[in-house]
Structure 1
Amino acid sequence: MTINTFAQQKEVIKLWPGKVPGETGAKHPAELFADTSKNVKRITNITDPQLTVYRPTGKSNGAGIIVCPGGGYRILAINLEGDEVAAYFADKGYTVFVLEYRTPQKREGALQDAQRAIRLVRERASDWSLSKDKIGLLGFSAGGHLSLMAATSFTEQTYSPVDKSDKVSARPDFAVLIYPAYTANGAKKQELNPEIKVTKDIPPLFIFFTADDQNDLPLPLAGALRELNLPFEFHIYPKGGHGYGLRKGNNAAEQWPILAEQWLKNVLQFN
């Protein structure tokens, strides 16, 4: 496992020390996507998945959040739904890890990356003074879908073990899903996507969506959770659209972090 240290004490942890499972080509740095509209930095062609670590700016609360940016599995909106979010929660005492998972259109590989990321953070929890039972996910759009897949598929062995990190659990202790994509299925989008397996063992979920989001409402997911009497919190705001991250000027963007913070305090039993 390779660790590099950049300016401002940012640690970069490469997920796969050797061959990346399922990949045949050589590893190379992520590529910048030409579209930078709305001041969003987009990256793609990720072949060497990694975590960028944001340590708390003050006292650590002992919890770790792995952030999964969105981008339709084509790109990652790495500043909007990655770095900016990490800086925000690091300021609240969390140790945050921005996950650069494989793109474009490598969903199987992305799930492998998410599982590996959870295991690496949990196995090395003492390096960041984290509690091994307070490590979870925060995902946006496709990253929300990936977070949900990781939260519901943690018993599946999606890759061959690499090292001792793969002996620990890949189950996140919580998952925060902000405008998650690809959750509904069927002609009228009233059925849960069949790839999402909701069982009594999945962790607590926080779901935030807006009524004017053109993507499918995650109502079938909420219904499946309710049917099994599982712990979750679900918010639907009237306006906000999609892809707003934490950007000021959008009421949904300004409200979800407040709601998520309180929910996390309750789930993680913070004072």
Structure 2
Amino acid sequence: MKQIVILLMMIGVNTTIAAQQQPIHLWPAAVPGETAAKQTAKVTPDGSNHVTRLTDVTDPVLEVFPAANGNGAGVIICPGGGYSILAINLEGYEVAAWLNKLGYTAFVLQYRVPKKEAGALQDAQRAMRIVRSRASEWKLQPDKIGMMGFSAGGSLTARTSTQYNVHTYTPIDHADSLSARPAFSALIYPAYLDNGANRSLTPELAINSETPSMFLFATADDYFGNSALVMAGALRDAKVPVELHFYAKGGHGYGLRKGNPAAEAWPVLMEKWLKTAVK
């Protein structure tokens, strides 16, 4: 706990929020497939645009932000960063604070980077199972735990939502007997979902009628904008409830900070969607 609070103070996160955290190390012993020694994630020298970027995550951590007036639902947040870094404040802590205000207990996932996509999926599956197994601690209903992600975190959320039945690691405790399927999912300016032939759906994203309902938001001027379009089309074809919002401008990597019309639009739209998606 002390290490996490010190890290948050270093990167400028409100220490009142930090004091609420209950860091959970996903892997109590060896991290599956990881060869590097466990260590606290490193903050990169690049702090441009007031974004704190973490890298060298070898000991994946789930940081918990309990809602003061919880509604029984929780959301695991996957920050983006091209699977190279984690934009931990922009697409993690700031989003957790927003969700808390809406009554959702938030969990910010520090998944493995850089360039450890297979490990990241293991981390996301494990995180979902741990939260589900300990739901009573935060007064959550196990069937009301969802996931959301930004950019590469959106990719990870989509992978978790479509590969929850894929066994990516050897079970280590009771939590691993539980489902890794998110109850609902939200992808905000997601990336890497159109890596199939002719920019079609990425083959590993196996969508069927059991895929959780999704909220998608992207813009036409985002280089990765096609990802949201092909995902929405695939979900529609599979008759999975999906809500897509596609704006003209906004770019990429804006989180929910003021001054960008897309950043100001998606939280309002998602708040409304959550009221119907979380039943």
TM-score of the two chains, using structure 1 as the length reference: 0.95
Give unpaired runs (5+ residues) of structure 1.
Answer: none
Which position in structure 2 is the counterpart of 1:27? 38
Partner of 1:193: 202
* AA of the residue aligned to 1:264: L
More helix by share: 2
Correspondence 1:206 to 2:215: yes
RMSD: 1.5
Gap change, CA 1:5 and 1:212, over 3 Å in 2: closer
What's the counterpart of residue 131 of structure 1? 141
Q: Is the 8 A contact 2:149 2:155 kept in 1?
A: yes
Q: Distance in 2 between matches of 1:258 and 1:110?
A: 29
State the one-letter code of the partner of 2:107. F
Distance in 2 between residues matched to 1:195 and 1:171, nearest whole Å: 16
- Maintained 8 Å contact 2:189/2:225: no
Deviation at 1:25, TM superposition (A): 2.2
CA apart distance, 1:227 = 1.2
Q: Structure 2 residue aligned with 1:115, among 97, 100, 125?
A: 125
Letter of the structure 1 residue corresponding to residue 74 of structure 2 = G
Query: What is the percentage of aligned positions where both structures have the same residue?
Result: 55
Please give the secondary structure, in 2, of the residue aligned with 1:91: helix
CA distance in 1, matches of 2:145, 2:3: 22
In the TM superposition, what are the counterparts of 1:51-90 in structure 2 within 5 Å? 51-57=62-68, 59-90=69-100
Spell out, residue by residue over 1:31-52, the C-alpha distance to the aligned partner (whole angstroms, 9 max, x if none): 1111111000000000000111
Deviation at 1:4, TM superposition (A): 8.4
The 8 Å contact of residues 3 and 14 in structure 1, kept in 2 or not, is answered as no
State the alpha-carbon separation in 2 of the partners of residues 196 and 250 from structure 1. Answer: 30
1:183-239 per-position Cα deviation (integer Å, ceiling 9, x unaligned):
1135642x1111111111110011000111112412222221111111010010111
When residues 186 and 131 of structure 1 are mapped into structure 2, their CA distance, relative to the original with a 3 A threshold, is closer
Once the two structures are superposed, residues 122-180 of structure 1 have per-residue CA deviations (whole angstroms, 9 ceiling, x without a partner) of 00000000001000101000000000000000010100001111011101000100000
> What letter matches 1:25 in structure 2?
A
Match of 1:41 among 38, 52, 61: 52
CA distance in structure 2 between the aligned counterparts of 1:238 and 1:113, rounded to whole angstroms: 34
In the TM superposition, structure 1's runs of 4+ consecutive aligned residues that sit over 6 Å from their partners are 2-5
